Amino acid sequence: MPDEFFRPNASYILGDGAGTFFATYPVKPGGNNGKVNTYGPDPNSARLGDFCKLYHNYVNITIKALYPNPKGVLKSALKVNLRSFFKRVTGFLADPSSCFELFPYGE
């Protein structure tokens, strides 16, 4: 994080201030390539304003990798939280019907 970056003293809502932060410190989306300080842009990553692609990547790549076969209470909690996340994401879209919900663990 940049030297001027600090954690806020209060909770915040997805998107609050993100535009200002990324305009000040523009970095193309990407990640390290297996080692520290090997950051490279990923042309398949979603851009900051592409909330539907951010949601789809998060569910299809991150969540499925972290929880490939959840069961019981964990599976139930993931379903509830992913539903809440989808509702929040579609609230940022001009046309919420343009983004479809994913159900990696069933509805």
Take residue 84 and report the two structure tokens written for it: 């809440």
User: What is the rounded (10 degree) CA torsion for 69, 73, 79, 82?
Assistant: -100
Q: What angle do CA 53, 5, 81 make, to 5 degrees?
A: 35
Segments making up each domain of the chain, as ranges: 18-98
Q: Is the pLDDT of residue 86 over 80?
A: yes
- Per-residue pLDDT tens over the stretch 43-77: 888 877 788 999 999 999 999 999 999 999 999 99
CB of 51 within 8 A of CB of 92?
yes
Q: Is the pLDDT of residue 19 over 70?
A: no
Band of residue 18 on the pLDDT scale cut at 50, 70, 90: low
pLDDT of residue 6: 72
For 7, half-sphere exposure in the C-beta direction (CA atoms, 13 angstrom radius) is 2
